[in-house]
Structure 1
Amino acid sequence: MPEFEKPKRHIAMFPWIAMGHITPFIHVANGLAKRGHSVSILIPRKAILQLGHQNLYPNLIKFQTVSVPQVDGLPPGAETASDIDVSPFNPLAVAFQAMSKEVNTLLCTLKPDIVFYDFAHWIPDLAAKIGFKTVFYNVICAAFWAITIVPARHFPRDRPLTEEELLEPPKGYPSSTVVLRGQEGRTLSTIPLECGNTTFDAVITAAMQGCDAIGVRTCRELEGAVCDYLSAQYNKPVLLSGPVLPEVPKGKLEDKWDAWLAKFKPKSVVYCAFGSQLNLEKDQFEELVLGFEMTGLPFFIALPKPKGANSIEEALPEGFVERVGDRGVVYGGWVQQTHILKHPSVGCFVSHCGFGSMWESLLSDNQIVLVPFLADQILNARLLTEELKVAVEVERGEMGWFCKEDLCKAVKCVMDEGSEVGDMVKRNHAKWKETFACVGFMDNYMDNFVKQICQL
């Protein structure tokens, strides 16, 4: 047994209450528990019911239920970001901040050695009182913080910055000049956490300044220079956990989807998903499904119903179901994405390029088409299309919207046999997948991450 596993640590985790944040925290917890450490994860009851099956070490990982208080604007029963629409003012963020008293009580009882958090910027204030170390664990790309969050050099420090530290972020990827393609003049949109006079930038800056170490769900092969920049700016260690994805999905694909996919030729089906939080405008939803119809390929779209619609069926264009027949599925419920991406019939993944989906696409054998929406997704898409050259991005118009013709064009250019673009991204993808999927790659990152965490 490696020396760094002794003595065992007790780690508590309190992530932002969105599925895309809670899930990677659970994956990290599995990595810690695999190495003998105990973990307490503080999340709402609904999230436990939906994600509890991802706990691979129930003897070491325990879920602690925290309640989401009712605040103005928050729908009754809402407990995660999936329960509300994205808006400039986020009532869930208000409720999240109000959970501090209950979290304080729980941490006083649990007495952990280390606490992982992301948006709960007040956790470091509890550290001195209760007596634990803190890790700001970032589940999205490091580039997002380097570009969109006010650098730490604008805040008081215990020593002057060196000339090297005063340099701008690394050139290339990421770049301080990144803009939304087709949306020049508009600022990068961020996760809406504004509540009262507290802005998203202020929350994250405080969260990163107050911690003992910054953890990032990335690897040096992709973002080494950016992580070094963040370490210099915040004058603290930046620890990389690697992508932290489950190696093999448990169970099998639901029978009805397995049977439907099995009707088609290998690598012929296009799968599309944009995560659990994104609700498209009805017009964009229609353009999306019509674009898939235009490809002539079999397709599986898994998206929430668009804004203003009561159901997926209601939002479909007139005559769409009759024209497409059994060639296409548009489904508004939860699906086993990891299983679907591994199905022999699936050959292309159209995603929003959230960080989790980005890694799933890189570790799959599928062609990659990107339709990013938020700031971190824009940066992830730039990495995959312009730096690694493993994907194509759907072109946008002046207002940042895409049309059915552009979506169809992007899918066809990677799926058509003999396409030069399709062949190029496939070759590059295979090369990078070989790097990321090689034996020991993820385990080595997690081993070093746990060692550094324990040394805090």
Structure 2
Amino acid sequence: MESRPHVLVFPFPAQGHMIPLLDLTHTLASHGLSLTVLTTPQNQSLLNPLLHTASAEGLRIQPLIIPFPPTQGIPPGCENTGQLPALHLIPLFMYSFKELAQPIEDWFHQQKKSSDGFGPPVCIISDFFLGWTQNTAAKLGIRRIVFHPSGAFAVSIIYSLWKYMPHEQVSSDNDAVYIPDLPHPVSFPKSQISPLLRRYKVLDTIFEFIRYNMDLNVESWGTLINTFYDLEAVYIDNLHRVVSGRPVWSVGPLLPPAVLDAEGTNMIERGKPTSIKESVCLQWLESQKEKSVIYICFGSHAFFSNKQNQEMAAGLEASEESFIWVIRDPPSSMPADEYGVLPQGFEERTKGRGLVIRGWAPQLLILSHPSVGGFLTHCGWNSTLESITSGVPLITWPMTADQYYNAVLVIEYLKVGIRFCEGAATVPNRDDLRIAVKRLMGREGEEMKRAEELMRAGKRAVQEGGSSSKNMED
């Protein structure tokens, strides 16, 4: 069997982290590499679409399933951030993965004797939440490349915050935190700094470990980032300087080929199974006029109270625009009668121009459809990049972590979105929503034109000779 370079890929098990790194795995395999994807038993099913596609296309991708290390404080069976009963457990969850270092080393040495044709890997590509894999790679005598699922602007901010901790010098949540080491002045209210950073305590074992992980990321042999040069050139160049001149490769937008190929018809399934048949969703979209639909979705960790839903529903109804609204059912830890309930009669009154999806939606299918003209989003980077690559402008409602940074990038620097709301617990104003939707869908600003320009730039980046395509070849 032909010998190919073998790479171990290690995603962090969170929806927004896994999806782009699995997309990258498919792309690397298409370039002739052999890849092993490491995950735990509860996450194994998330690899199935990729493995099925690889098998059909004759690509060399195999899974490596290692048991999740038992951790006091993490309920049994919780091996993905979406399974955690509370978000405050994420630091402990991150910390627990260091126990996989020895099993990885054992597997590496077994691969030297393996007859599966893969052999030991020459490189580890791992998520930036898994910085400790830098030490594992060094111990095994191979290279480690850090993968960032966020954009270059947000990553520059994250590195700066962990290095300098400027928020510790600010007492009030409303006061500005100025971010060092960026190519231009940037600040955010302290309340918008990631909870992971704000909870940091000196000499706390878990948080010191997380900060150490961030330091190790800077020491990695190189950095892969899900963005493209024409979108974030100044911040990609800045990252190259921040990480001491080590290579920084922009390899995005990382999306299934059908999204970027006008001839494509079949999308690779990504993430969790959808709650609506794609055929039903497509039929509804086909019944709408071009660029007439506002798509509303807030990611995998946002659950709206009934008060929030009431204002959202009233604003959408008053806008008289067509919409698709994705609503997550609350987890068992939330009172079922206080979350996820829509006003009585809302769906009936908006029938025909409104589609409510409870659970998971085929987001790429929706965003890439010609009838969609806007996206009301939490500004997670995957959603942001998917929207831009589809030529769809955004209405922003960031809620936590890097979402605030992405919203600023979208509004102030890329000029492809408008500000609506901020904060996960904020009850929006129905009139503000009506105005924002009418403005975006009425094409009163430059957002639609900019979105279409950036869509074309994103497609050029991944085509032969484009910036991301060249980086992938390198």
The TM tier, using the shorter chain, reads 0.7 to 0.9
**Partner secondary structure for residue 88 of structure 2:** coil
CA distance in 2 between partners of 1:85 and 1:298 (Å): 35
| Amino acid corresponding to residue 96 of structure 2 in structure 1 | A
1:50-73 per-position Cα deviation (integer Å, ceiling 9, x unaligned): 342134433311121232234344
Cα offset, 1:24, TM superposition: 1.0
TM-score, normalised with respect to structure 1: 0.82
Name the structure 1 match of 2:272: none
Aligned with 2:285 (options 261, 273, 284) = 261
Aligned with 2:299 (options 275, 296, 307) = 275
1:189 is the counterpart of 2:194: yes
| Amino acid corresponding to residue 238 of structure 1 in structure 2 | V
CA distance in 1 between partners of 2:163 and 2:84 (Å): 35
CA distance in 1 between partners of 2:364 and 2:145 (Å): 28
| Amino acid corresponding to residue 400 of structure 2 in structure 1 | L
Aligned with 1:230 (options 233, 236, 239) = 239
CA distance in 2 between partners of 1:228 and 1:439 (Å): 16
Name the structure 1 match of 2:84: 84
**Partner secondary structure for residue 289 of structure 2:** coil
Task: Call closer, same or farther: CA 1:189–1:211 in 2, change over 3 Å.
Answer: same
Deviates more, 1:333-342 or 1:75-84: 75-84
Aligned with 2:453 (options 407, 410, 431) = 431
CA distance in 2 between partners of 1:194 and 1:49 (Å): 34
Name the structure 1 match of 2:32: 36
Name the structure 2 match of 1:133: 143
Stretches of structure 1 that go unaligned for 5 or more consecutive residues are 1-5, 156-166
Cα offset, 1:276, TM superposition: 1.9
Contact 1:136 1:211 (C-alpha < 8 Å) held by counterparts: yes
Task: Call closer, same or farther: CA 1:373–1:10 in 2, change over 3 Å.
Answer: same
CA distance in 1 between partners of 2:108 and 2:134 (Å): 12
Aligned with 1:243 (options 253, 256, 275) = 253
1:199-243 per-position Cα deviation (integer Å, ceiling 9, x unaligned): 286044233134111222222223333233333333222222232
Aligned with 1:394 (options 403, 417, 420) = 420
Task: Call closer, same or farther: CA 1:67–1:304 in 2, change over 3 Å.
Answer: farther
Stretches of structure 2 that go unaligned for 5 or more consecutive residues are 112-119, 166-178, 260-264, 268-276
Deviates more, 1:144-153 or 1:127-136: 144-153
| Amino acid corresponding to residue 296 of structure 1 in structure 2 | E
Aligned with 1:121 (options 128, 131, 141) = 131
Contact 2:253 2:462 (C-alpha < 8 Å) held by counterparts: no
Task: Call closer, same or farther: CA 1:150–1:388 in 2, change over 3 Å.
Answer: closer
Contact 1:392 1:410 (C-alpha < 8 Å) held by counterparts: yes
CA distance in 1 between partners of 2:309 and 2:67 (Å): 34
| Amino acid corresponding to residue 81 of structure 2 in structure 1 | A
| Amino acid corresponding to residue 233 of structure 2 in structure 1 | G
Cα offset, 1:28, TM superposition: 1.2
Aligned with 1:57 (options 29, 54, 57) = 54
CA distance in 2 between partners of 1:400 and 1:442 (Å): 45
TM-score, normalised with respect to structure 2: 0.79
Identity of aligned residues (%): 25
Task: Call closer, same or farther: CA 1:373–1:40 in 2, change over 3 Å.
Answer: same
* Mapping 1:48-447, distance limit 5 Å: 48-55=44-51, 56-58=53-55, 59-84=59-84, 87-90=87-90, 91-110=92-111, 111-118=120-127, 119-150=129-160, 168-172=180-184, 175-177=185-187, 179=188, 184-190=189-195, 197-199=205-207, 202-235=211-244, 236-248=246-258, 251=266, 254-306=278-330, 308-310=334-336, 315-396=341-422, 402-416=428-442, 419-421=443-445, 424-438=446-460, 441=463, 444-447=466-469
| Amino acid corresponding to residue 342 of structure 1 in structure 2 | S
Cα offset, 1:277, TM superposition: 2.8
The count of residues paired between Structure 1 and Structure 2 equals 425
Task: Call closer, same or farther: CA 1:209–1:346 in 2, change over 3 Å.
Answer: closer
